[in-house]
Amino acid sequence: HVSAMYPSGKYSSRGPALIPRMKTKHRIYYITLFSVVLLGLIATGMFQFWPHSIESTADWALDKRSVHDAPLVRLPVSSPIPERGDLSCRMHTCFDVYRCGYNPKNRIKVYIYPLQRFVDELGVPISSTGLSREYNDLLSAVSDSDFYTDDVTRACLFIPSIDVLNQNSLRIRETAQALAMLPRWDKGMNHVLFNMLPGGPPDYNTALDVPRDRALLAGGGFSTWTYRQGYDVSIPVYSPLSADVELPERQPGPRRYFILSSQMAIHREYRAELERLKEENGEALLLLDKCSNLSQGAAPARKRCYKGQVYDYPQILQESSFCVVLRGARLGQAALSDVLQAGCVPVILADSYILPFSEVLDWKRASVVIPEEKLSEMYTILKSIPHRQVEEMQRQAHWFWEAYFSSMKAIGLTTLQIINDRIYPYAARTYEQWNNPPVVKWSSVNSPLFLPLIPPRAPGFTAVVLTYDRVESLFRVITEISKVPSLAKLLVVWNNQNKSPPEESLWPKIGVPLKVVRTKENKLSNRFFPYDEIETEAVLAIDDDIIMLTSDELQFGYEVWREFPDRLVGYPGRLHLWDHEMGKWKYESEWTNEVSMVLTGAAFYHKYFNYLYTYKMPGDIKNWVDAHMNCEDIAMNFLVANITGKAPIKVTPRKKFKCPECTAIDGLSLDQTHMVERSECINKFASVFGTMPLKVVEHRADPVLYKDDFPEKLKSFPNIGSL
């Protein structure tokens, strides 16, 4: 109320000024009236533009609703039935892409029909269970995701709220009629149905029997004959056990049993085959079955028995390296989910079965698929798999469960992501994104320059000289570099805003184009900006005081870079060390036997890394470097090593760069505080990267005939300095 009063007070005080000639009586009347109006306006405004207050009350009303409050819909007997479903349906024939449209996020919009309770004319519901807990979980997850839209006109994909997860609880004909009654059904176009238990006795179809026109089916237990590749989505059969049982973390490795069979009611033919295997291989196999004489109260689903001995299920799955998942009447088995959760490698014996999410998941890395006919060879086949691979598969299996099987949310969102990837294939997730567990994602590298190319010599390289005001030294550097045969262009980055670069006539005359770029701010990162003037892919970054490098050394450096275009190839080598006393990283510029960095005071690298440095540097490193005016070279080494996983290459023995009489450690690096700062940089960057990406090596690159007993004049690079 205070806020509402304030403006009215303000206006009333201004009142006299606005209407000075009015009589006091009228004035008071006017003011009161005006205040009332204003007050009202403000109050209304608050209501209008406080959407939460309105909506939350509405939501609150919604939240208080029970499933049984959902409106009842009576299906007339004669209500139309959809067609059976067309086996030739594909995205380009049965899916309306125009509904999805082009959007910058490349994300489909999904609409969920509001819940209705369908009954036939006699009032009997179409499903014995109605909405199941699992389907409710799935729909809630979808509605919480960014796929969701409540605007039916903008939706690309529609999810009916009719629960068809389990065909057994459905009345087929009536369910089909209910589907056809959906307001946007339109021959099932762009609709997706989730089903986990398809078919019914006696022949158990491998896809949902409910006629569904062109609707997509996300089904558990597809066979290759019912699965419309690239249209349907194969999903797992969710195991509710995983919600109830929390299995302890178990590291991959050899386990007590080699093969475990835990399914109940396996066909006697298979059982006989398994028994035979057990006879041959003894203790390595454990064949469990239903417990016949369990005490009262014990859940039979949680126990398994072998010759009177009782085992806990699913805990026992963690005791085996491989777990058999045999087909039953249906192809999809909930046991697969339990097995994966336990980190046991599933051995799948179900001919023609389309494995869950097989469109994107590489099951060869997490399971063994054996033709049913070869059940008798199972043991030999599994024994031939290397140990290390089994461990990898165990890890992968558990990860698949965690990411794609563990909840209805995971199953639902994965399905939508797969459909999303089909509609926006150019933005689809990659194989690595789908299949690499997070641990591998962090530690593995996916180099942006992965193709092994040795670029041609001809385009040459662009030398980028960062300078402030050391003109004399700069000119010397320019003159020296200009002698290098493969130099294509020289770019001087003039980092001094207070002083203009010397007149054009004063610059050394060289045979290649020389460009001067003036920067707006004196920042170190200017050296790594991907200037349009750099037209070659090879960049030589060089300081304005590096005068000792010979033409042969530079040319040789370029040749080495051509063989390692994805690395930093440079002259001054440095090392990082772990300081055990301090418990942190230390920078080392002594002449050591190892190298983990090359300084960009004189180094070749690919122009692409300029892009990465400028636009993709993790965390605040770039700004930090600019603020501290130091360590841009260390940052570059971190960046390149992190993305390629490779060490830099130090070329030639050269260690002194500025003057022959200089000591080991050059110029800037002389004082002790500087060294401390550099060490700090390494620690800072390592924490930002979350790891230490630098790789230590003990080699450097020299010309093939370097220091060999061979006439100097026949050597390509005779003039290689010694220190």
Within 360-379, which residues bind other proteins (CB under 8 A)?
362, 364-365, 368-373
**Residue placing its CB nearer to other proteins in the complex, 388 or 509:** 388
Window contacting other proteins (CB under 8 A); options: 71-79, 159-167, 177-185, 545-553: 159-167
The yes or no reply on residue 51 touching other proteins (CB under 8 A) is: yes
Is 365 in contact with 440 (CB distance < 8 Å)? no
Is 242 in contact with 406 (CB distance < 8 Å)? yes
Interactions with other proteins, residue window 333-352 (CB under 8 A): 333-335, 351-352
Residue 437 CA to residue 434 CA, distance in Å, equals 8
The yes or no reply on residue 690 touching other proteins (CB under 8 A) is: no
Nearest 5°: CA angle at 144, between 138 and 147?
A: 90
DSSP symbol at 363 = G
- CB neighbour list of residue 558: distance below 8 Å, 6 or more residues apart: 457, 460, 461, 484, 486, 538, 540, 604
Tokens 């004669």 correspond to 78
Structure tokens at 377: 């060879």
**Residue placing its CB nearer to other proteins in the complex, 239 or 589:** 239
Residue choice 491, 647, 692, 694 for contact with other proteins (CB under 8 A): 647
The yes or no reply on residue 84 touching other proteins (CB under 8 A) is: no
Give which of 532, 572, 546 is closest to 465, Cα–Cα.
546
Is 191 in contact with 159 (CB distance < 8 Å)? yes
Min dist. Cβ of residue 201 to other proteins (A): 6
Structure tokens at 240: 């509710």
Min dist. Cβ of residue 687 to other proteins (A): 18
Min dist. Cβ of residue 300 to other proteins (A): 7
The yes or no reply on residue 73 touching other proteins (CB under 8 A) is: no
**Residue placing its CB nearer to other proteins in the complex, 80 or 240:** 240
Residue 457 CA to residue 469 CA, distance in Å, equals 33
Q: Count the residues in the chain.
A: 723
**Residue placing its CB nearer to other proteins in the complex, 414 or 630:** 414
DSSP secondary structure, 424-475, as one string: SGGGPPPHHHHHS-HHHHHH----TT-S-----STT-EEEEEEESS-HHHHH
Min dist. Cβ of residue 502 to other proteins (A): 30
**Residue placing its CB nearer to other proteins in the complex, 337 or 679:** 337
The yes or no reply on residue 225 touching other proteins (CB under 8 A) is: yes
**Residue placing its CB nearer to other proteins in the complex, 425 or 690:** 425
Min dist. Cβ of residue 481 to other proteins (A): 20
Ordered alpha helix ranges (H), 49-132: 51-63, 91-94
The yes or no reply on residue 560 touching other proteins (CB under 8 A) is: yes
The yes or no reply on residue 452 touching other proteins (CB under 8 A) is: yes
Residue choice 42, 119, 247, 440 for contact with other proteins (CB under 8 A): 440
Distance of alpha carbon 9 from its chain centroid, rounded? 57
Q: Where are the beta strands (DSSP E) in 93-153?
A: 110-112, 117-119
The yes or no reply on residue 329 touching other proteins (CB under 8 A) is: yes
Residue choice 224, 309, 497, 687 for contact with other proteins (CB under 8 A): 224
Min dist. Cβ of residue 503 to other proteins (A): 32
Interactions with other proteins, residue window 85-144 (CB under 8 A): 88, 90, 92-93, 97-98, 102, 104, 112, 115, 129-136, 139-140, 142-144
Min dist. Cβ of residue 348 to other proteins (A): 11
Window contacting other proteins (CB under 8 A); options: 116-124, 277-285, 443-451, 516-524: 443-451
**Residue placing its CB nearer to other proteins in the complex, 333 or 630:** 333
Residue choice 496, 623, 716, 719 for contact with other proteins (CB under 8 A): 716
- Enclosing H/E stretch for 510: none
The yes or no reply on residue 540 touching other proteins (CB under 8 A) is: no
Q: Where are the beta strands (DSSP E) in 359-408?
A: 368-369
Identity of the residue numbered 544: D
SS3 347: strand
Give which of 507, 553, 550 is closest to 660, Cα–Cα.
550
Distance of alpha carbon 85 from its chain centroid, rounded? 35
- The strand pairing partners of 492, in sequence order, are 465, 516
Min dist. Cβ of residue 353 to other proteins (A): 10
Window contacting other proteins (CB under 8 A); options: 209-217, 229-237, 485-493, 546-554: 229-237
Residue choice 158, 257, 258, 270 for contact with other proteins (CB under 8 A): 270
Give which of 345, 348, 356, 435 is closest to 386, Cα–Cα.
345
Min dist. Cβ of residue 69 to other proteins (A): 9
Burial string for 26-54 (b: 16+ CB within 10 Å, else e) reads: eeeeebeeebeeeeeebeeeeeeeeeeee
Is 536 in contact with 461 (CB distance < 8 Å)? yes
Min dist. Cβ of residue 519 to other proteins (A): 20
**Residue placing its CB nearer to other proteins in the complex, 186 or 392:** 392
Backbone angles phi, psi at 441, to 5 degrees: -60, -35
Residue choice 16, 53, 269, 499 for contact with other proteins (CB under 8 A): 269
**Residue placing its CB nearer to other proteins in the complex, 409 or 476:** 409
SS3 262: coil
The yes or no reply on residue 251 touching other proteins (CB under 8 A) is: no
Residue 162 CA to residue 135 CA, distance in Å, equals 9
In which region does residue 181 sit, left (phi positive, over 0), alpha (psi from -120 to 50) or beta (all else)?
alpha
The yes or no reply on residue 428 touching other proteins (CB under 8 A) is: yes
Min dist. Cβ of residue 388 to other proteins (A): 6
**Residue placing its CB nearer to other proteins in the complex, 430 or 497:** 430
**Residue placing its CB nearer to other proteins in the complex, 448 or 508:** 448
Q: What is the contact mask toward other proteins in residues 487 to 516, using x (rule: CB under 8 A)?
A: ------------------------------
Interactions with other proteins, residue window 623-642 (CB under 8 A): none
Min dist. Cβ of residue 710 to other proteins (A): 6
Window contacting other proteins (CB under 8 A); options: 317-325, 451-459, 504-512, 682-690: 451-459
The yes or no reply on residue 449 touching other proteins (CB under 8 A) is: yes
**Residue placing its CB nearer to other proteins in the complex, 282 or 711:** 711
The yes or no reply on residue 293 touching other proteins (CB under 8 A) is: no
Interactions with other proteins, residue window 138-157 (CB under 8 A): 139-140, 142-144, 148-151
**Residue placing its CB nearer to other proteins in the complex, 368 or 603:** 368
Residue choice 10, 14, 65, 383 for contact with other proteins (CB under 8 A): 65
Structure tokens at 613: 């440095």
Min dist. Cβ of residue 181 to other proteins (A): 20
Q: What is the contact mask toward other proteins in residues 165 to 204, using x (rule: CB under 8 A)?
A: xx-xx--------------------------xx---xxxx
Window contacting other proteins (CB under 8 A); options: 5-13, 207-215, 224-232, 576-584: 224-232
Residue 7 CA to residue 82 CA, distance in Å, equals 63
- CB neighbour list of residue 347: distance below 8 Å, 6 or more residues apart: 259, 322, 323, 324, 325, 367, 368, 370, 378, 382
The yes or no reply on residue 388 touching other proteins (CB under 8 A) is: yes
The yes or no reply on residue 661 touching other proteins (CB under 8 A) is: no
Is 121 in contact with 76 (CB distance < 8 Å)? yes
Residue 129 CA to residue 147 CA, distance in Å, equals 27
Backbone angles phi, psi at 325, to 5 degrees: -125, 100
